[in-house]
Copies of this chain bind each other. A is one copy, B any other.
Amino acid sequence: MDDYNGVVIEKQALPDSETEFVVQFNDMLSDVKAQGKQLVWFTLSIKQAAFIHLATQAGFVFHNCLEDEITLILRIQKEAYAPFVPTHSIGAGALIFNQQQQILVIREKLASNPGFKLPGGHIELGEKISEAIVREVFEETGVHSEFVGLQGFGSKKSFRFGKSNIYFLCRLNALSEQINIQDIDEIAEAKWCDVSEFVNDQYTSVFVSEIVKTLQHQQGFELVELPENNSPYKKHEVYFAGDIRKHLT
């Protein structure tokens, strides 16, 4: 039983052979329907992949997956509310300046655009934005930095596989200026560059140019640690607008 008037089948409860699976599965579905449940969902390990097509033949659809397991779902009532499906990947880009107010930019080896772009990359599953961007900047440029705040983001629909992407713009302080690319497979070049040169370069994406011009002097969301963020529902990261420190005692 779950929170959605549904039924969860435990992996351990599943039989070993396909024949047994079909029998038990059909019995279970009859029971569930008789009970007036709205949905059934279960997760198979990748080793149980042979059962997937038996479930899809019974009307189950894919719900979500990790590398080594997949969750399938059957809506018995068409309008049944099912738990969310992950819809977004998250990326981050860095706005990072040195003492001379030059901006740090990189050029990728495989990019179709020959121009420079902001350092950054994909946030791995479970990683904090504020830590991922410091890591990415170091890998791509060798520059050490500290996270200051978020200054904006853009979302993109249908980024890949029908899912969306959010790209957070992070403000960082440079703690060192020496360029020393770590990820030499991906990054062709990194440099400190006058802002006017970067935003006016013919190969700089107009969107990135707009971002830099607009956000270089803005204050955004700060990373905050709320005193009461310590329950079982503890948030991984909390970002709030404005100067919130005056509100927290």
Which residues in A have some Cβ–Cβ distance to B below 8 Å?
Answer: 3, 43, 46-47, 49-50, 52-53, 56-57, 61-71, 81, 83-91, 110, 122-126, 128-129, 150-158, 160-167, 186, 205-207, 209-210, 213-215, 218-221, 226-229, 231, 233-242, 244, 247-248
Known interface pairs A215-B241, A241-B219. Does A70 touch B65 (Cβ–Cβ under 8 Å)? Answer: yes
Q: Of all chain B residues, which has the CB nearest A161?
A: B64
A63/B52 contact (C-beta < 8 A), A125-B85, A231-B207, A236-B157 known? no
A127 to B: closest C-beta gap in Å: 9
Q: Which residues of B contact A240 (CB under 8 A)?
A: 151-152, 214-215, 218
A49-B52, A52-B53, A160-B83 known; A221 vs B241 contact (CB < 8 Å): yes
- With CB as the reference atom, state the residue of chain B lying closest to A49: B53
The count of identical subunits is: 2
Residue ID in chain B nearest A186 by CB atoms: B81
User: Which of B71, B155, B160, B227 is the one whose CB lies under 8 Å from A235?
Assistant: B155
Q: Chain A interface secondary structure, helix, strand, loop or mixed?
A: mixed
Q: Which residues of B contact A160 (CB under 8 A)?
A: 83-84
Q: CB distance A229 to B207 under 8 Å?
A: yes
Contact B155 A236 (CB under 8 A): yes
Instruction: Assess the B154–A71 pair: CB atoms within 8 A.
Output: no
Residues B56 and A235 in contact, CB atoms below 8 Å apart: no
Docked Cα-Cα span, A65 to B56, in Å, equals 14
A47, A88, A124, A231, most chain B CB atoms within 10 A: A88
Asked if residues A242 and B228 are in contact (CB atoms below 8 Å), the reply is no
Instruction: Report which residue of A126, A150, A240 has the largest number of chain B beta carbons within 10 angstroms of its beta carbon.
Output: A240
A162→B139 CA distance, assembly (Å) = 26
Q: Is the CB of B69 within 8 A of A152?
A: no
Residues of B within 8 A of A226 (CB): 207, 210, 214
Bound-complex Cα distance A128 to B218 (A):
24
The 6 closest A-B pairs by CB, nearest first: A220-B241, A49-B53, A154-B235, A206-B228, A62-B65, A152-B240
Give the shortest distance, in Å, between A14 (CB) and chain B (any CB).
Answer: 14
B219 adjacent to A242 (CB under 8 Å): yes
- Cross-chain contact of A61 among B46, B63, B81, B84 (Cβ < 8 A): B46
Question: With A46-B62, A62-B69 given, is the CB distance from A244 to B214 under 8 Å?
Answer: yes
- What is the distance, in angstroms, from A223's C-beta to the closest C-beta of chain B? 10
